[in-house]
Amino acid sequence: MLIRKEDGAGETENSMTIRKIFIVNSMGLLTILKKMKQKEKEMRILMLGLDNAGKTTILKKFNGEDINTIEPTLGFNIKTLEHKEFKLNIWDVGGQKSLRSYWRNYFESTDGLIWVVDSADRRRLIDCKEELKGLLLEERLAGATLLVFANKQDLPGALSAEEIRDALDLESIKTHHWNIQWCSAVTGEKLLDGIDWIISDIASRIFTMD
């Protein structure tokens, strides 16, 4: 028996059955993978920003490590942390201009993006804006939650979170959930507020109630 389509093309009942089984199996696999991730309550968070923005200091401070001896990240750091019953795999990648072309190697399966800004470095705000804009166009980061840390608020002359928001034109972002949080990596102030927000937003997207 041949089943005709409206455009005249056709397929046999047998091939249709195989295709339906393939679709069902694929959907079943996606469900299994989601349930596995949900069971582990695991999140992959990518932390990026220009060099000297304070990414590594934030990560070490959040993990309770000594921050007195911080060296520029020439590759990447990864920390697996437990926070509020979630397992956070946080990737901190170097921000030097020569390393930014390698950022794309870390985009896969990212649930959340933390963009760290040196609020006292007014000179490079345009560069900061352009780099973030480029990231948000990346297909593999589509849908990832965005948290902007307006860091170094302990320094004199640091721009406020509102000023950073305007400088980066964050209000124009329509493709990602986003939030901006002022903070100081040195004192630790407001770091948890930002981390709690990004965890909550990611959880609302990728975890479902049993």
Residue numbers belonging to the annotated binding site for Mg(2+): 56, 73
Q: How far is CA 192 from the centre of its chain?
A: 16
Hey, which residues are catalytic here? Answer: 96
Binding-site positions = 49-56, 73, 95, 151-154
Strands laid side by side in the 76-83 sheet: 76-83, 86-93, 42-49, 112-118, 145-151, 178-182
**Contact between residue 202 and residue 42 where contact means Cβ atoms under 8 Å apart:** no
